[in-house]
Structure 1
Amino acid sequence: MSQSDSRGDAPVRRGTMIVGATVRTLGAWPSGWRYPGAHRHPSDDPRALRSLALTAEAAGLHFLYFGDWLATGPEFEQTDPYLLARIEPLAAISFLSAVTDRIGLIATVSSAHSEPYSTARASASIDLLSNGRAGLSISSGAEPRSAANFGRTSVHPDEDRIEAAGEFIEILCGLWDSWEDDAFVADAATGHLIDQEGVHQLGYVGRHFSSAGPLNVVRPPQGHPIVSVVGSAPSARALAARQADISFLAPMSLAEAVDFYRATKEQARDLGRDPAHFLLVTPILPIVAETREKAWRIYDDLVDLVPVETAAGVDNGVTLPANRTIRRLAGLLGVSLNGVIIDEAVPPKIAARFSPLGTELVALVTSRSGRTVGGYRPVTYRHLLVAHAVAAPVLVGSGVDVADYMESWFLASATDGFTILSAYLGGQFESFTALVVPELKRRGVFPENYAGATLRENLGLPRPANTLTPGAFGIESSRSLRYR
């Protein structure tokens, strides 16, 4: 974990960054599965997951993070293929706990469509089976198709769902604390298996959830498995600052990241928490190779694999999202594109008439591909359209380039670390671990080895005291458990 001190306006960062990986077996790039050698069939996910986990653990990454979406539909084929079919996250981390030894495993659970007791039981069990490497990401999001899959006809307002997620986390922590660490005495001489005073009823009654407890699993090795919350919205950031160990944030720029970091850490401090014990982690999608030029070529290949309209009104046999048409691109650029073929180079005289958004897209394409308007590697209309259509935190370059970016954000106190999205499995993740991780270690901003046995220890987070032990509320806590 890392800490920062402020000396005037220049933060001085100490420690090492957190680096994990977000698992999307069909790739985080919309058509990454089409890349030669890429993993492309969900029925082979067990093999792909095992390979990914062992590679990540050998590199010393802190965790694997499994997001989730509780619905599916054919339209995801072109936009988010990893959402079409996936292994349930708790099942995935349970499987991987048996094939790994050190890396943390974080599964997403929906507070809108799950019960706290069963979630507490499953996560405590996985923490026990993995020797303290489990984590949960609590999703408060909901949408009509997911709700319909659970027999619900409406979606609750954001405010209610955030409040419900807060109750969900409170119950999890209370149930994990049902048993004190030394409640099982196993005294064969006296016949006492447990110290009954070390077993606690929870008796939680909230507006959204209730649970009597105790849990029928011993207290997890970590005390509480890691709890994380995803989202940059103010309500999600507030929930994370109040009750999570990790906040996964996706800022749009370095300046916004610094603002989020300072504000969210301050929220945690105002709630009585030690900001050093609350981590902010940012997603990036690195496309990396031995040289910048090779990375540019991989990016160009990935751009070519994204189906887009090749000429106005031409049907290429694929149902395209609305943001992949030449008409949409013309609206963004603020110029007429009548008669344009998508792979044509953008003429300088046309680029000079682009709208401010069009000029931003040109700069984005240049940063990702090294292409310039009028250059020997010119900007094409396809590159502009794909840069608009693929809303991902893409970073293209050599191992040194990617390490420079990560180190600059870390040293600027914009984040405590990163979760890595891979454009496709089968090459890009291996390139990241082979080219970027050693460079980060060489610079001393990423640990050489795992610091401890548990995920908490490796993240530099303390093991929580038991919230149900008499007098426990003297500990650092922002929770106000509702008991009968």
Structure 2
Amino acid sequence: MILGAVFRALGAHPAGWRMPGAHRDPLQDAAVLRRTARAAEAAKFDYLFFGEWLATGPDLEFRDPDLLARIDPVSSIAYLAGVTKRIGLIATANTTFVDLFTLARQTASIDRLSAGRAGLNIVTGADPRAAGNHGREGRAGTEPNYDQAGELVRALRLLWDSWEDEAFVRDQRTGRLIDPDRVHRTDAVGDYLRVTGPLTTPRPVQGHLPIVHAGTSTRSRQLSRELADLALVAQPTLEEAVAFRADLRAQARALGREEGAPLVVTPVLPVVAETKAGAQGIYDQLLRLVPLDDGSPLSRSPDFPANRSIRALSSAVGVPLGTPELDDEVPLRVARRFAEGGQRILETVAARTGRSVGGEFAITYRHLLATHAVPTSAIVGSGHEVADHLEEWFSAGAVDGFNIQTPFLQAQFTAFTSSVVPELQRRGLFRTEYEGTTLREHLGLERPQNLHVAEALTARARHAG
């Protein structure tokens, strides 16, 4: 089972930073970054994963406070290369805005500095604010972004292969340092990118850094099946996840890719405690800390989300709710009238908090509204119960592993590493020690042949034939 730790300093739940003892100061992110990286490595995680967001604004305070101000992901993995020894380090790059040659050089360098532990997550968004930050015009539609992303990945691999592994002959007697025949131009020319090379950095330790891509859209699936080593996919049900993975793998095989490519990983947000009741209490508190439209000065902010009002909840449950107070209990007679969407919200709240309509621990409108406004892929329970869920999805063939999103640091990450990981190890589902030294080895990926060498061999075989 693959386990990746998604690093979000202020937590993956938007109310996580408000929890008692949670990290809440972006000026101290470096300290929590070091602590989390070392804890993940001690637990034998495959990798630490760093997402990216290239613009900011006050609206993110409510929707995703972790994105307001954060350390650059490429800088983060470069820093952690010297702080850790075995764990993989995956940074994100937005292919719409990066400079191809610079990205190739940075990632090859970090792979060298980390002894082969770097990976690269490719995203394709073209947010207007990000475009403005980079002096670009926003594009209409997503097709050009995916086309550019495909060009960039192919060109990256050619640039990484500029230097053959045997290019440095280091012959002191003759004075020959390199074999010039083993140094290659790239000459990658496309509709969006062009580069000549050679790269000014030796070939990465891994040959090619593992490429990661997330999404389930038609173009995202195309990019994953053609080029990704790791596909990050969120599916709502086990059955849909099994079907998606099988279909993606079949399409990749039809393109000539090896069996088992790409690997499929799904995001989960575990809320863990010694008992299920304890975990439900933590999740209940997270819901209570989500800012909602309660007439307070905060909720009157011009950037406050529109989906956090009773009116929005009425639309979600399919029933006019009137003007109840947020902390009023939901009456059974009202809950029975909820449409299908409302029933799903009720079921989610009951499963994650242990509350019930009309029960000793009642469901309030606040619970319903916070759950509607902040959808998460939460798994709430003891270490044994969370491990049960992960094992079920893994054993069913729905996924190859999980990206663990911690609701808040540091307590919840410690709870996961001290209870869920040992349980997975006890069941033989996760390593107890690192066996390889590179990220590709952690993931079970072969080191690829140099593309320039492969092309020359193919040309010679064609000529001989």
Per the normalisation by structure 1, the TM-score is: 0.92
Q: 2:296 aligns with which of 300, 315, 325?
A: 315
Shift of 1:335: 2.6
Question: Deviations along 1:383-412, whole A, 9 cap, x unmatched?
Answer: 111111112211111101110110000011
3-state SS, counterpart of residue 469 of structure 1: helix
3-state SS, counterpart of residue 419 of structure 1: strand
Shift of 1:201: 1.1
Work out the CA distance in 1 between the residues paired with 2:457 and 2:151.
17
Match of 1:265 in 2: 249
Q: Structure 1: which 5+ residue stretches go unaligned?
A: 1-16, 475-484
Any conservation in 2 of the 1:465–1:472 contact (CA below 8 Å)?
A: no
3-state SS, counterpart of residue 69 of structure 2: coil
3-state SS, counterpart of residue 441 of structure 2: helix
Alignment of 1:209-224 (within 5 A): 209-224=193-208
Any conservation in 2 of the 1:309–1:316 contact (CA below 8 Å)?
A: no
Match of 2:36 in 1: 52
Shift of 1:40: 0.8
Alignment of 1:86-101 (within 5 A): 86-101=70-85
Question: Deviations along 1:108-167, whole A, 9 cap, x unmatched?
Answer: 011100111110000000000000000111111111111111112222421111111000
Question: Deviations along 1:432-464, whole A, 9 cap, x unmatched?
Answer: 111100001111111111120000001100000
Any conservation in 2 of the 1:466–1:472 contact (CA below 8 Å)?
A: no
Match of 1:305 in 2: 289
Work out the CA distance in 1 between the residues paired with 2:20 and 2:126.
35
Work out the CA distance in 1 between the residues paired with 2:319 and 2:34.
49
Match of 1:136 in 2: 120
Any conservation in 1 of the 2:126–2:138 contact (CA below 8 Å)?
A: no
Shift of 1:470: 4.7
| Letter of the structure 2 residue corresponding to residue 419 of structure 1 | N
| Letter of the structure 2 residue corresponding to residue 326 of structure 1 | I
3-state SS, counterpart of residue 338 of structure 1: coil
| Letter of the structure 1 residue corresponding to residue 68 of structure 2 | L
Shift of 1:51: 0.3
3-state SS, counterpart of residue 447 of structure 2: coil
- Are 2:349 and 1:365 equivalent residues in the alignment? yes
Shift of 1:275: 3.3
Q: Structure 2: which 5+ residue stretches go unaligned?
A: 459-465
3-state SS, counterpart of residue 85 of structure 2: coil
Shift of 1:78: 0.9
Match of 1:289 in 2: 273
Q: 1:351 aligns with which of 322, 335, 360?
A: 335
3-state SS, counterpart of residue 120 of structure 2: strand
Work out the CA distance in 2 between the residues paired with 1:357 and 1:470.
54
Work out the CA distance in 1 between the residues paired with 2:239 and 2:205.
38
Work out the CA distance in 2 between the residues paired with 1:470 and 1:228.
23
Q: 1:424 aligns with which of 396, 399, 408?
A: 408
Shift of 1:316: 4.6
| Letter of the structure 2 residue corresponding to residue 281 of structure 1 | V
- Are 2:448 and 1:467 equivalent residues in the alignment? no
Alpha-carbon distance change, 156 to 333 in structure 1, aligned in 2, over 3 angstroms = closer
Alignment of 1:200-215 (within 5 A): 200-215=184-199
Work out the CA distance in 2 between the residues paired with 1:119 and 1:473.
28
Shift of 1:333: 2.0
Match of 1:126 in 2: 110
Work out the CA distance in 2 between the residues paired with 1:267 and 1:205.
27
Match of 1:3 in 2: none
| Letter of the structure 2 residue corresponding to residue 40 of structure 1 | R
3-state SS, counterpart of residue 423 of structure 2: helix
- Are 2:428 and 1:447 equivalent residues in the alignment? no
Work out the CA distance in 1 between the residues paired with 2:39 and 2:385.
22
- Are 2:141 and 1:160 equivalent residues in the alignment? no
3-state SS, counterpart of residue 242 of structure 1: helix
| Letter of the structure 2 residue corresponding to residue 412 of structure 1 | A
Any conservation in 2 of the 1:399–1:436 contact (CA below 8 Å)?
A: yes
Paired-residue identity, %: 49
Question: Deviations along 1:240-272, whole A, 9 cap, x unmatched?
Answer: 110111111111221221121111111111111
Shift of 1:334: 2.6
| Letter of the structure 2 residue corresponding to residue 183 of structure 1 | A
The number of aligned residues is 456
Question: Deviations along 1:294-348, whole A, 9 cap, x unmatched?
Answer: 00110111111111124xxx33533331111011112222333224111122111
- Are 2:24 and 1:24 equivalent residues in the alignment? no
Q: 2:51 aligns with which of 67, 70, 82?
A: 67
The CA RMSD over aligned residues, in Å, is: 1.4
Alpha-carbon distance change, 168 to 473 in structure 1, aligned in 2, over 3 angstroms = farther
Per the normalisation by structure 2, the TM-score is: 0.96
Match of 1:477 in 2: none
Alignment of 1:109-258 (within 5 A): 109-258=93-242
| Letter of the structure 2 residue corresponding to residue 76 of structure 1 | L
Alpha-carbon distance change, 37 to 138 in structure 1, aligned in 2, over 3 angstroms = same
Alpha-carbon distance change, 447 to 299 in structure 1, aligned in 2, over 3 angstroms = same
| Letter of the structure 2 residue corresponding to residue 317 of structure 1 | L
Any conservation in 1 of the 2:252–2:261 contact (CA below 8 Å)?
A: no
Any conservation in 2 of the 1:25–1:39 contact (CA below 8 Å)?
A: yes
Of 21-30 and 99-108, deviating more is 21-30
3-state SS, counterpart of residue 75 of structure 2: helix
Alpha-carbon distance change, 470 to 18 in structure 1, aligned in 2, over 3 angstroms = closer
Work out the CA distance in 2 between the residues paired with 1:472 and 1:408.
46
Alpha-carbon distance change, 342 to 149 in structure 1, aligned in 2, over 3 angstroms = same
Work out the CA distance in 1 between the residues paired with 2:37 and 2:161.
30
